[in-house]
Amino acid sequence: MKENVSKIVLAYSGGLDTSVAIAWLKEKFNAEVITVTVDVGQKEDFKAIEERAYKAGASKHYLIDAKEEFVEKYIKPAIRANALYEGAYPLGTALARPLIGEKVIEVAKKEGADAVAHGATSKGNDQVRFEAAFKALAPDIKIIAPIRMWGMNRKEEVEFAKKRGIPISEESKKYSIDENLWSRSIEGGELEDPWNEPPEDAFEWTVDPREAPEEPLYLTLTFESGIPVAINGEKMKLIEIINRLNELAGKYGYGRIDHMENRVVGLKSREVYEAPAALTILVAKKDLEKLVLNKREYRVKRGLDDYWADLVYDGLWFDPIRIELDNFMERLTENVTGDVKVKLYKGSLTVVGRRSPFAIYDKAISSYDSQWFPSDEMARGFIDAWLMDSVISFRKKFAR
Ligand code: ARG
């Protein structure tokens, strides 16, 4: 690429790829490289990351704490939409990418940079998500994807790093990990064979269910308009609830996901995740929705929930329909207020109780102990009318 760029802002994780990218970009473009690390709740040594950035040749480093923003602008809508991609993955990585992209653009504008860069590969989803944010927020900025361009394999990368004195801590890392408040993604290594059971060393947030406590743990989650606000009656900010649940449910071995995933790029991958808090919240919240939404609301929402997860997974965070859906979801979950009681036990979570001032369920109507309503006559009339076209068409087509 014969681009004329003088200042590049790089989304910097601190890993081997993006560290090598700093030096590679500098050499290739003869440009200044500014690094941006966004704290979305990954448990990292940010001081060490900064040092590595400078050692690799960054002229300036930004560490941006975006945890609160991640919760407010990304996790809350995901909770409202019960977001589980293909019924399994709570989208931690997919939700964080547009936010990281947004922060990179903020820095690029402030620094007057003429290009931005990311460390995603040509096989993955993250390249699409980063570039979607770059294009939506700064349509004219140049985008550079060094890992897609340089054609080095792992060994050559390590060589490249060593030659330039870039410290590499993860030469021996077994998996590719991406983590934030909402989930921990684990891929690569042994996991690439979908027949291999994920080894215990893939997991960090959850214990082996066999090692979990012998007694179950009961928790009551309180929701207000679809968002969790308390655990066991103790009011907390959502970020604290997430941290607390990651810890509690993780201790009970709950929150592991093993998933054959359809990527944006037309290939499949075997993905393993840990998401104790996300799964606890989503399972409880879906249950509460069944108590307070009517049948039509529930059915429409169920379809839109899936659609929302697909959109966000596919890198379309900035598509207007996502924003419109968020408004609709907010409205639809206004009455999703109440308590859900869950039981954690050796790797499982079961909802064992729910209650809400907005419940549509009414024991007096539904109970078998109450008056026989509807009456036999009413029931006959209802069934006749309900089945009419179905019975007629069945007879015409299959029972001639
Ligand atoms: N498959 C997940 C996603 O596309 C996780 C990707 C994890 N990324 C990584 N660099 N390990 O959202």
pLDDT in tens, 107-139: 999 999 999 999 999 999 999 999 999 999 999
Query: What pLDDT does residue 371 have?
Result: 75
Domain range for 378 is 363-397
> Which residues are near ligand 1 (CB < 6 Å)?
93-94, 125-126, 176, 178, 185, 187, 261, 271
Query: What pLDDT does residue 172 have?
Result: 60
pLDDT in tens, 280-297: 999 999 999 999 999 999
Residues 28 and 141 in one domain: yes
Best CA proximity match to 250, nearest among 275, 230, 233: 275
pLDDT in tens, 170-198: 556 799 999 999 999 999 999 999 999 99
Residues 75 and 62 in one domain: yes
pLDDT in tens, 221-247: 999 999 999 999 999 999 999 999 999
Q: Where are the beta strands (DSSP E) in the chain?
A: 7-11, 32-39, 60-65, 115-117, 142-144, 176-179, 184-187, 217-224, 227-231, 234-235, 256-262, 268-274, 338-345, 348-355
C-alpha 298 to ligand 1 mean position (Å): 30
Best CA proximity match to 208, nearest among 217, 220, 199, 216: 199
Could you tell me the CATH number of the domain that includes residue 188?
3.90.1260.10
Burial-class residue 100 by CB neighbours within 10 Å (0-12, 13-18, 19+). buried
Residues 16 and 79 in one domain: yes
Residues 124 and 191 in one domain: no
Atom of ligand 1 nearest to the CA of 264: 4
Residues 245 and 287 in one domain: yes
Residues 43 and 127 in one domain: yes
C-alpha 262 to ligand 1 mean position (Å): 12
* SS3 state of residue 190: helix
C-alpha 120 to ligand 1 mean position (Å): 10
Residues 308 and 264 in one domain: yes
pLDDT > 70: percent of the chain: 99
Q: Which pair of tokens denotes residue 285?
A: 């919240």
Query: What pLDDT does residue 173 have?
Result: 79
Residue with tokens 């941290």: 243
Pocket test for ligand 1, best of 125, 182, 262 (most atoms within 8 A of CB): 125
User: Can you tell me the mean pLDDT for 136-156?
Assistant: 96
Q: What is the dihedral of CA 238, 182, 339, 221, to 10 degrees?
A: -80
Pocket test for ligand 1, best of 40, 85, 93 (most atoms within 8 A of CB): 93
Atom of ligand 1 nearest to the CA of 97: 12
Count of Cβ atoms closer than 10 Å to residue 39 Cβ: 17
Residues 236 and 188 in one domain: yes
User: Can you tell me the mean pLDDT for 357-385?
Assistant: 90
Residues 294 and 390 in one domain: no
Best CA proximity match to 289, nearest among 232, 297, 352: 297
Among 148, 173, 198, which residue terminates a domain?
Answer: 173
C-alpha 129 to ligand 1 mean position (Å): 11
Reply yes or no: is the peptide bond before residue 374 cis, omega within 30 of 0. Answer: yes
Among 131, 151, 173, which residue terminates a domain?
Answer: 173
Pocket test for ligand 1, best of 86, 99, 127, 271 (most atoms within 8 A of CB): 271
Number of domains the chain contains: 3
- Write the residue with the smallest CA distance to atom 9 of ligand 1: 178
pLDDT in tens, 330-342: 999 999 999 999 9
Best CA proximity match to 12, nearest among 85, 61, 81: 61
pLDDT in tens, 311-355: 999 999 999 999 999 999 999 999 999 999 999 999 999 999 999
Residue 2 above 60 pLDDT? no
Among 115, 147, 173, which residue terminates a domain?
Answer: 173
- Write the residue with the smallest CA distance to atom 8 of ligand 1: 178
Q: Are 249 and 344 in contact (CB under 8 A)?
A: yes
What CA–CA distance (Å, rounded) separates 82 from 309?
A: 8
Could you tell me the CATH number of the domain that includes residue 156?
3.40.50.620
Atom of ligand 1 nearest to the CA of 269: 1
Residues known to be catalytic? 17, 97, 126, 176
- Write the residue with the smallest CA distance to atom 1 of ligand 1: 271
Residues 345 and 327 in one domain: yes
C-alpha 185 to ligand 1 mean position (Å): 6
- Write the residue with the smallest CA distance to atom 4 of ligand 1: 125
Q: Are 277 and 249 in contact (CB under 8 A)?
A: yes
Q: Note the Cα 166 to chain centre separation in Å.
A: 31
C-alpha 180 to ligand 1 mean position (Å): 11
pTM of structure: 0.96
Pocket test for ligand 1, best of 86, 121, 185 (most atoms within 8 A of CB): 185
Residues 200 and 248 in one domain: yes
Query: What pLDDT does residue 365 have?
Result: 85
C-alpha 289 to ligand 1 mean position (Å): 29
Residues 158 and 11 in one domain: yes
Best CA proximity match to 326, nearest among 340, 305, 345: 305
Residue 366 above 60 pLDDT? yes
